[in-house]
Amino acid sequence: MVSQNIAIQVLAVLGVLILGYSFLVRPQMKRIKENEKLLTSLKIGDKVVMGGGLIGKITKFEGSRIVEIEMSKSIHVLALRSGIESKFEE
């Protein structure tokens, strides 16, 4: 009787852990991999959307972490590559 209760509790805990992994960890890992793939595929001339919603065109890479983004003809900003959310598709 007692061993059945312990077995049921262990199975319940395992079930919660499996559900937590399935609904929380796996989707987050998938998003991280997709974002890494996006960041490595960027090239000069790509239009991108920054984390704050700013849209600009990549003009130069400075090392592996920093990109120069043209917001308008006379405004160029430096940003971290990790701050890029997505490519801008019109």
Q: What is the CATH number of the domain that holds 72?
A: 2.30.30
Q: Domain limits at 73?
A: 43-90
pLDDT per residue over 15-44, tens digit each? 999 998 888 889 999 999 999 999 999 999
Are 2 and 37 members of one domain?
yes
Whole-model pTM over 0.85: no
Are 88 and 51 members of one domain?
yes
pLDDT per residue over 30-86, tens digit each? 999 999 999 999 999 999 999 999 999 999 999 889 999 999 999 999 999 999 999
Are 35 and 55 members of one domain?
no
* Consecutive H or E run containing 22: none
Q: Would you tell me how many other CB atoms lie within 10 Å of the CB of residue 49?
A: 15
Q: How many domains does the chain have?
A: 2
Whether pLDDT at 3 is above 80: no
Are 59 and 80 members of one domain?
yes
7 falls in which pLDDT band (50, 70, 90)? confident
